[in-house]
Amino acid sequence: MAVAEFLDTAQGRRLAFHKSEGVAPTIVFLGGLKSDMEGTKAVHLEAWAQERGQAFLRFDYSGHGESSGTFEEGCIGDWHEDTVAAIEALTEGPLVVVGSSMGGWQALLLAKAMPERIAGMVTIAAAPDFTEEGYWASFSDEQKAALEMVGHVELPSDYMEPYIITKRMIEDGRTRLVLRDPLALPFPVRFLQGTADTAVSIETAVRLLDHASGPDMRLLLVKDADHRFSDGPCLEIIERAVLDVLAPE
């Protein structure tokens, strides 16, 4: 396995990354909450890009994988800063952004921050605004009180140890919401969503499609695919979606 390189950011964080040189646009993979750049989708897409001679970047947000910090210290805004720092320091020219789950929210934040750099976007079970629409909206009065008194709550996960959700993550998330103001995506976009996803609902995917504006947006529902979206057929669907935004009809 290749050894990661590291980028020191202006915010004092150290981000681990893997970068492959190649032709533009550079494909940038943005992972999910508590995921890392060694996940199946990221590694598969990197190998696929290398076979094509396509430039590719994957990295770990702070508090994830090999990067500095702890997950509990972070929030959506920190990881947005990490994304911008990695892209500005490590890439040039146009980008095709592939965002998975929370990475889908990060991709949409990136579209607001630097739309001129993005040539296309693919999201996989995108989870925009989940800190407010998912976590806060579902918290009991007891959990909301714990957030104020203790500063965090623990939530079970279907995929790993419990998530520690901090007051800072909730409050910062409210400053990063993308579904309450106009969301322009002026490039080809493919939203991918599994019908068996228990973490992100089909309703969320449809709401994102309805809310965003752009000349070429499509939502693909994949029957029986779960939130991981990483078996063989799903990986092929991701490849086709990337090709589709690289060379739209």
How high is the mean pLDDT in each 10-residue block of the chain (249 residues)? 92 97 97 95 97 97 97 96 98 98 98 97 98 94 93 80 89 97 97 96 97 98 96 97 88
User: So what's the pLDDT on residue 163?
Assistant: 81
How many other CB atoms are there within 10 angstroms of residue 138's CB atom? 9
The radius of gyration of the chain from alpha carbons, rounded to an integer in Å, stands at 17
What pLDDT shows up at residue 155? 83
Side-by-side strand order, sheet with 54-59: 5-8, 14-20, 54-59, 23-30, 95-100, 118-124, 189-194, 217-222
DSSP characters for 40-57?
A: HHHHHHHHHHHHHTEEEE
Please give the C-alpha separations between residue 71 and each of 36, 54, 76, 85, 163, in angstroms, as whole numbers.
Answer: 11, 31, 11, 18, 9
Alpha carbon distance 120, 25 (integer Å): 9
**CB of 238 within 8 A of CB of 136?**
no
Beta-carbon contacts of residue 92 (< 8 Å; ≥ 6 apart)? 24, 26
Protein fold of 10-129+177-246: Rossmann fold (3.40.50)
- Supply the pLDDT for residue 156: 78
Provide CB contacts within 8 A for 213, sequence distance 6+: 182, 183, 184, 185
Ordered alpha helix ranges (H), the chain:
40-52, 76-90, 102-113, 130, 137-138, 141-149, 167-173, 202-211, 232-246
Residue 175 confidence (pLDDT): 97
Positive/negative CA dihedral, 41, 119, 102, 242? negative
State which amino acid sits at residue 183.
L
CA 99 to chain centre: 4
Give dist(CA 112, CA 107) in Å, integer. Answer: 9
Nearest to 61 by CA among 92, 103, 90, 4: 103
pLDDT at residue 208, as a whole number = 98
Is the distance from CB of 211 to CB of 179 less than 8 angstroms?
A: yes
